[in-house]
Amino acid sequence: MARQRKAKDPTAGLEKAAQKGVPGQRYVLRLYVAGINPRSSGAIRTVTEICDEHLKDRYELEIVDLYQQPTLAKGEQIIAVPTLIKKLPVPLRRFIGDMADKERILVGLDLRAKK
């Protein structure tokens, strides 16, 4: 009698890697805000919490207030705030608007598999 092999799910390994991230992989993030207001404060709090929980000791987060450094908006083509840019690891990703949806940001940062 022939043995049947169970087919492996080709996406299982990718999902597992996405959930864990690459060990030691450094993330370089830049968060653009406009002044001190509830929306900016919420974005800073959410992104900082995500970094502390999921990227402990392997991230660099720069917070840029466009009221204090308006020329940076043109160089990065910022059209709305808050905007979070993931520079590293590649590919570059942008998150624009409300940062309250942690799940969306985790998936976009490749820290959690898409459900």
User: φ, ψ for residue 68 (rounded to 5)?
Assistant: -90, -30
Residue 61 and residue 82 in contact, taking contact as beta carbons nearer than 8 Å = no
> Does the structure show a pLDDT above 50 at 17?
no
Domain-located, residue 16 = no
pLDDT of residue 11: 39
Name the 3-class secondary structure at 66: coil
Domain-located, residue 92 = yes
- Express each pLDDT in 28-62 by its tens digit: 999 999 999 999 999 999 999 999 999 999 999 99
- Domain encompassing residue 87: 23-108
pLDDT of residue 52: 97
Q: Which of 112, 114, 106 is nearest to 29 (CA)?
A: 106
CATH number at residue 69: 3.40.30.10
